[in-house]
Amino acid sequence: MNLHRIVYLLHIPLTLLLLVWAWFGRAFFGAGGWFFLILPIFAGPVVLVILIAHVVLTLTTPRRPRTFTTAEVAAHATLWSGLLGFGFFLVDGGDTDDSIGSAFTQVAGDSWQDLSAALSLTSTAVVVAGWAAVIVTAILARRHVPPAFPGGGMHPPYGVPGPPQPCGPPGPHG
- Domain locations in the chain? 3-143
| pLDDT higher than threshold 70 for residue 164 | no
- How many angstroms separate the CA atoms of 12 and 38, rounded? 24
Distance CA 81, CA 121 (A): 13
The Cα–Cα gap between 173 and 11 comes to 51
Would you mind telling me the total number of residues written for the chain in this entry? Answer: 174
β-bridge partners, 155 = none
Q: Is the pLDDT of residue 95 over 70?
A: no
The pLDDT confidence band at residue 21, using thresholds 50, 70 and 90, is: confident
Whether the predicted pLDDT of 1 surpasses 80: no
Percent of the chain with pLDDT over 90: 35
